[in-house]
Structure 1
Amino acid sequence: MKKDRITLGVDVSKKTLDICHWGTHDFIKIENNSSGFKQLAKWMRGKGFVSSQVFFIMEYTGGYEYRFLQYCESKGLSYTRKSGLEIKKSMGMVRGKSDKQDSFRIAQYGEEKAYMLEPSGKLNSAIFDLKQLISFRKRLVRAMAGYKASSSERKAMYG
Structure 2
Amino acid sequence: MENLFIGIDYSKKSFDVSAYISSEKSKEEKMKLHLLGHQNFSNDETGYIQMLSWLGTLTSLSPKHWLFCGEDSGLYSYSMSHYLYIKGFSIWLENPLHMKRSMGLVRGKSDKKDSGLIALYSYRFRDRRVDFVPKQDTIQRLQDLEAYRHRLIKAKKLLGDSSKELNLYEQTRDTAVLVYDKSMELVEQIESQLKEVEVQIQQVLKSDKEVYDNYERITSVKGISWKTAVVLLIYSHNFTRFETARQFACYAGVAPFEYSSGTSVKGGTHTSRLANMRVKSLLGMAAMSAKRFNKDIAEYYNSKKEKGKSHRVIMNNISNKLIHICFALVRHQTMYQYTYKLV
TM tier, shorter chain?
A: 0.7 to 0.9
Checking the alignment, whether the CA contact within 8 Å between 1:7 and 1:54 is kept in structure 2 is yes
Q: Deviations over 1:22-68 (max 9, x none)?
A: 43052111111111111112101111253222111111112222210
Does the alignment pair 1:64 with 2:62? no
Report if aligned partners of 2:71, 2:94 keep a CA contact under 8 Å in 1. yes
Cα RMSD between the aligned structures? 2.0
The Cα shift of 1:153 comes to 3.6
SS of corresponding position for 1:21: strand
- Percentage identity across paired residues of the two chains: 29
> Distance between the aligned counterparts of 2:105 and 2:133, measured in 1?
32
Corresponding position of 1:36:
47
Shift of 1:112: 0.8
SS state of the match for residue 109, structure 2? coil
Distance 1:132 1:25 in 2: 39
Pair 1:107–1:62, CA change in 2 (3 A): same
Question: Residue 99 and residue 156 in structure 1: after superposition, are their counterparts in 2 closer, same or farther (change >3 A)?
Answer: farther
1:14 matched to which residue of 2? Answer: 12
Q: Normalising by structure 2, report the TM-score.
A: 0.42
Q: Letter of the aligned partner of 2:112 in structure 1?
A: K
1 or 2 for the larger relative contact order (CA 8 Å, sep ≥6)?
1
Cα distance in structure 1, aligned partners of 2:55 and 2:36:
13
Are the structure 2 counterparts of residues 155 and 18 from structure 1 closer, same or farther at C-alpha, using a change threshold of 3 Å?
Answer: same
Which SS does the other structure have where 1:5 is aligned?
strand
Distance across 2 between alignment mates of 1:7 and 1:155: 61
Task: Say which one has the larger Rg.
Answer: 2
* Structure number having the greater helix percentage: 2
| Paired residue secondary structure (2:127) | coil
Q: Pick closer, same or farther for the CA change 1:141–1:71 going to 2, 3 Å.
A: same
The residue type equivalent to 2:108 in the other structure is G
2:79 and 2:120 mapped to 1: Cα distance? 24
The aligned amino acid for 2:3 is R
Please tell me whether residue 94 in structure 1 is matched to residue 92 in structure 2.
Answer: no
Q: Counterpart of 1:31 in structure 2: which amino acid?
A: S
CA distance in 1, matches of 2:142, 2:163: 31
Summarize the alignment of residues 92-131 of structure 1 with structure 2, pairs less than 5 Å apart: 92-131=104-143
> Does the alignment pair 1:133 with 2:145?
yes
Q: How many residue pairs were aligned?
A: 157
TM-score between the two structures when normalised by the length of structure 1: 0.85
Q: Which amino acid aligns with 2:118?
A: I
- Any stretches of 5+ residues in structure 2 without a counterpart? 21-33, 172-343
